[in-house]
Amino acid sequence: MSNPRVVVVTGASRGIGQAIAEAFVANGDTVAALSRTGEAPEGVQGYAADVADAAAVDAAFTAIEKDLGPVEVLVANAGLTRDGLLMRMSDEDFDTVVDVNLKGTFHVVRRASKGMIRLRRGRIVMIGSVVGLYGGSGQVNYSASKAALVGMARSITRELGGRGITANVVAPGFIETQMTAVLPDDTQKAYKAAIPAARFGQVEEVAGVVRFLASDAAAYVSGAVIPVDGGLGMGH
């Protein structure tokens, strides 16, 4: 792959996505950020779209291709939680999480793959979660949405592997962001006690692995789940 590539990172207005976008900028790539607010870190062009809305995703990609060129790397990172115990989980909270984390990922991957097939190369990285395979109390909706990304990446690998396109899942553990800052102290303590590394992760530690998967060095890695969790899931 030649630099600069056009890289799209969803959910790059803050947290892990922001760090991923910044890592690609530092690598000399041209980066577009896609989120509901359209906010983007310095050096990154922001586009507003809700990933749950297929038409909005299509319009944003059309604008990105027109402004920056064909998209070679997609990082599907946008995601949210609506935690609650199974017995009390509403249909709305289940649907919201699945619509954004799973269907939203489907929308961006489907749209990005069009151009990658034409280019005959591409890198798709989906941000899953340790909870996808490890489970999480109060996270039936979230863990189901993240586990599903594994099947999606593996099916894409089978469909598009022969066209120079890879699809992998990065599964972060407990990373210090706004998403985890809202968790109760007891939950945070319980996690820390279970993590062999005995600390929470930093956004840059996830970004480094994503950048590797999008690099030439990872050309033969596809359909994989790469944990970045301090050993919490023991590689699943």
Nearer residue to ligand NAP within complex by CB, 127 or 160? 127
Nearer residue to ligand NAP within complex by CB, 138 or 164? 138
Query: Do strands 122-127 and 165-172 pair parallel, antiparallel, or not at all (unpaired)?
Result: parallel
Shortest reach from residue 105's CB to ligand NAP, in Å: 9
Shortest reach from residue 15's CB to ligand NAP, in Å: 2
Q: Where are the beta strands (DSSP E) in 116-215?
A: 122-127, 165-172
Shortest reach from residue 36's CB to ligand NAP, in Å: 3
Nearer residue to ligand NAP within complex by CB, 18 or 121? 18
CA dihedral of 8, 13, 15, 17, whole degrees rounded to 10: 0
What's the Rg (C-alpha) of the chain?
17
Do the beta carbons of residue 205 and residue 230 sit within 8 Å? no
Greatest pairwise CA separation for the chain in angstroms: 51
**Integer Cα distance of 100 and 135 in angstroms:** 19
The answer, yes or no, to whether the previous bond of 172 is cis (omega within 30 of 0) is no
Nearer residue to ligand NAP within complex by CB, 18 or 166? 18
At residue 226, what is the residue type? I
CA 67 to chain CA centroid, nearest Å: 23
How many CA atoms lie less than 13 Å away from 123 in the CB half-sphere?
23
Q: Which of 47, 134, 142, 191 is catalytic?
A: 142
Interface contacts to ligand NAP, rule CB under 6 A: 10-17, 35-37, 39, 50-52, 77-80, 100, 104, 127, 129, 172, 174-175, 177-180
Beta bridge partners of 131: none
Shortest reach from residue 173's CB to ligand NAP, in Å: 6
Nearer residue to ligand NAP within complex by CB, 17 or 121? 17
Is residue 142 part of the annotated active site? The answer reads yes
Shortest reach from residue 2's CB to ligand NAP, in Å: 28
User: Which pair of structure tokens corresponds to residue 121?
Assistant: 């190369």
Q: Which residues are catalytic?
A: 142
